[in-house]
A = this chain, B = another copy of it.
Amino acid sequence: MVTISDVAKLAGVSVSTVSRVINDNPHVTPQKRQAILNAMNELGYAPLQAARQLRGSGTETIAVVVPEIVNPFFSYLVDTIERVIDEKGFKTLIIQTFGQKRNELNALNLLKVNQVDGVILCAIENDFETIKAYLTYGKIAVCNEYVNDETVSMIYGNQFEGIRQGTQYLLSKGKRRIAYCTGRRGIMMQPRGVNFDSDRYLGFIKALQVQQLSFDPELLFTNAHTIDDGKRILQQIRTLSAPPDAVVAGSDEVATGIVSEAVKSGLQIPDQLAVLGVDDQPLARYLQYPLTTIRQPIKAMGHKVAEVLLNEIKHPETKTSREMLDLKIVPRKSA
């Protein structure tokens, strides 16, 4: 292994001077700087991360935290984010929480032990007060989710408006009894703008209200994540005495499960049951019933959050950003 002192020796200077050129300290004469640069090149020297970390200098690394990478929404989000981080010469650490608080805390802990300069959370598992405590150790930015707090930057989609428009679209097709699926265990009502899930739900309710419709709680389905959850939900729907004529599925996976099981049961899509997805996954348009779905601004979101965080790292005094991006309904065959 070639170390800083090897470089110093070859360049005929002290290690301190080498360290100065590594860290862009101005107090080095151009000749020595060049000599050192040459030596570094000749030896193929790269500073050892561990040693730098130990002294508490920057790591030029960002941790990107997602629930699970097999979800295309998150894999595309990570992809976009990583490309921006790369571009700026930083490194990326992809971390999966699998929905567990402990894993999210481990990721945040990387700030404390100086393994990363910043963390991008693409979901929130812990209480936000707990998360905020880590701001002492480094920068944090939140992407996709949001809470009512100005201390960290948040870039997210306008869930309220997206779901409202999607629901309105269903209503415009003459649907009147619309079911609603959510990934969470239940709906926790919040004022508008403070929380991802409740915003979606508020958007849904809002669209109904405009048509003076009220929501039948029998049509609320929770814990909906996978294709199989979708299938399960359709089975539950079939047992209802007054079944819905449309469903806001909450994700393309769930929508796919619902549609596939509905077809199997002989229901006409979208006449007897219209199904609205969310995300617009790459394959959504190639499905048996190409999904009508609400596209999330993944690229813009990833781009923006990475840029904002990197900027905060470079200029620590920058004040935090909060940006809301539009979702877009993509009409196809399922609704």
Q: Which residue of B lies closest to A1 (CB)?
A: B112
Residue A96 is within 8 A (CB to CB) of chain B in the complex: yes
A182 contacts chain B at the CB level, 8 A cutoff: no
8 shortest interchain CB distances as A-B pairs: A50-B53, A94-B94, A283-B283, A50-B50, A70-B75, A50-B54, A69-B75, A70-B79
Out of B68, B69, B113, name the residue touching A50 (CB < 8 Å): B113
A288: contacting residue among B70, B78, B287, CB under 8 A: B287
For this chain, the copies found in one complex come to 2
| A residues lining the B interface (CB < 8 Å) | 1, 46, 48-51, 53-54, 68-70, 72, 75-76, 78-79, 82, 93-94, 96, 109, 112-115, 227, 253, 256, 259-260, 281-283, 286-288, 290
Q: Which residues of B contact A49 (CB under 8 A)?
A: 50, 53, 113, 115
A282 partner, pick from B96, B115, B227, beta carbons under 8 A: B227
Q: A282-B227, A286-B288 given as contacts; is B69 within 8 A of A72 (CB)?
A: no
Contact of A283 (CB < 8 Å), options: B48, B70, B109, B287: B287
Contact of A79 among B68, B259, B290 (CB under 8 A): B68
Taking the closest CB of chain B, its distance from the CB of A310, in whole angstroms, is 18
Instruction: Name the CB-closest residue of B to A256.
Output: B286
Q: How far is the CB of A43 from chain B (nearest CB, A)?
A: 14
Taking a contact as CB atoms closer than 8 A, the residue among B53, B79, B114 that contacts A69 in the complex is B79
Taking a contact as CB atoms under 8 Å apart, the answer to whether A76 and B72 are in contact is no
With A54-B51, A115-B50, A286-B260 as contacts: A70 and B72 at CB distance below 8 Å: yes
Complex CA distance for A256 and B284, rounded to whole angstroms: 11
A48 / chain B contacts, CB cutoff of 8 Å: 54, 113
- A288-B227 Cα distance, complex, nearest whole Å: 16
A234 smallest CB distance to B (angstroms): 14
Query: Given the complex of chains A and B, what is the CA–CA distance between A76 and B93 in angstroms?
Result: 18
- Selected from B50, B69, B109, the residue in CB contact (under 8 A) with A78 is B69
Determine which residue in A76, A96, A260, A283 has the highest number of CB atoms from chain B within 10 A of its CB, and name it.
A283
When distances are taken between beta carbons in the complex, the residues of chain B under 8 Å from A112 are 1
User: Do A94 and B70 contact each other (CB < 8 Å), given the known contacts A50-B114, A287-B288?
Assistant: no
Q: Taking CB as reference atom, which chain B residue is nearest A93?
A: B93
